[in-house]
Amino acid sequence: MVNLLKVHGSQNHFFILDQTELESPLTDNELKSFTKKISDPKTGLLNGTDGVLVINKPVREHALAQMRVINADGSEASMCGNGLRTVARYLSEKYHKTSFLVDTMNASLRVRKDKDFAPNVPAFAVEISPVRFNKEALPFDNLGYDRLIDNYIPEIYPGLRFTSIAVPNPHLISFMNQKQITGPILGTVGKRLNDKNPYFTDGVNVNFAQILDKNKLFVRTYERGVGFTNACGTGMSATSLALVLTHPEMADLDTPISVYNPGGMVKTVVHYEESQYWIELIGNATFTHHLSLDEADLRTGTFEHVKITETNEQTAYEKFVDQLPKFNDITTLA
């Protein structure tokens, strides 16, 4: 039997598949079709997810394991901040370690157990890096700039300023008022830049942010390979760095920033060390369901005989969210 976990970070939901427990790992094609099927709200399990987090043996020296991120549409992302927290918790419990390295597509990243956010709401801190601004790293083109830092870009949307940062998955960020953030612009921009377009040819995660106070943000994200999501960890991290760069009076380096999102709240800390930015992302790592199925059914995407057991962690998470301040009309999506 194969065990899967349904997990979330700020209600950005995933399944975790630990391939080191399989007789043989899935091929890339099997992983892609398995993810598309299980993540789909209609054909999938438990209302679907934003993707699958795949655990493999480490590929670099000193790491405990490797995490691959397969988006709901079957594309692969270089990183996932909310997902890495849940993978960190899974590995921490499996190997009885509280601080270690996890390989991701471009780097081995530091993760550590943090203080619980609330009773039965475990939290982990993960490193978000490497950070790049150049247009080749995103990539973007045909916008007349080599880097986008708080530039008006009417080709993307008139009257809004945009910043673009790879962490290393690509993000586009705009700071705006409450009316704009709750309106339809995010869907319009997100869909257009993730369809065939001349600017972000590989697509981009689009983050709209409202500055609530010093070191306090609300962020809403339209994700590449997914669509609207409750929260995007790398997006909230990139947005925190954009805040430090474009509104320095509203955020401090090395100081926690509270980032509220439709699925809850995380903390970020932006650091600048050895001429490089990196961000620490701290938030819940919640396990909602344990699933088990035959390895043959996993390979063919047959879910009729899956056994599912619910944990009691979602109730605790919802209690934690209920006591958070409410800033606007965008509530949790799922």
From residue 145 to residue 174, the character string flagging contacts with ligand LBFN2T5F as x (rule: CB under 6 A) and all else as - is ------------------------x-----
- Name the residue among 114, 106, 51 with its Cα closest to residue 83: 51
How many Cβ atoms from other residues are within 10 Å of residue 323's Cβ?
7
The alpha carbon of residue 8 and the mean position of all alpha carbons in its chain are separated, in whole angstroms, by 10
Q: Could you say which of 232, 241, 251, 269 is catalytic? A: 232
* Total binding residues toward ligand LBFN2T5F, as defined by CB under 6 A: 18
Strand-pair category, 65-71 with 12-18: unpaired
Residue 223 is a binding residue for ligand LBFN2T5F (CB under 6 A): yes
Among the listed residues 11, 39, 82, 240, the single contact to ligand LBFN2T5F using CB under 6 A: 82
Q: Which helix (H) or strand (E) holds 236?
A: helix 233-246
Q: Is 232 a catalytic residue?
A: yes
The CB-of-81 to ligand LBFN2T5F minimum distance in angstroms stands at 4
How many Cβ atoms from other residues are within 10 Å of residue 61's Cβ?
8
Q: Is 53 a catalytic residue?
A: no
82 is in an annotated binding site: yes
Nearer to ligand LBFN2T5F, 50 or 313 (CB): 50
Residue 80 is a binding residue for ligand LBFN2T5F (CB under 6 A): yes
Say how far apart CA 34 and CA 26 lie, in whole Å: 9
What the block records as the tokens of 80 is 């996932």
The CA–CA distances, whole Å, from 253 to 242, 247, 272 equal 12, 12, 7
The full DSSP string for 167-189 is SSSEEEEEE--HHHHHSSHHHHH
Among the listed residues 48, 81, 168, 283, the single contact to ligand LBFN2T5F using CB under 6 A: 81
Residue 298 is a binding residue for ligand LBFN2T5F (CB under 6 A): no
Residues annotated in a binding site for substrate:
12, 71, 81-82, 169, 205, 223-224, 233-234
Binding residues for ligand LBFN2T5F (CB under 6 A): 12, 50, 69, 71, 77, 80-83, 169, 205, 223-226, 232-234
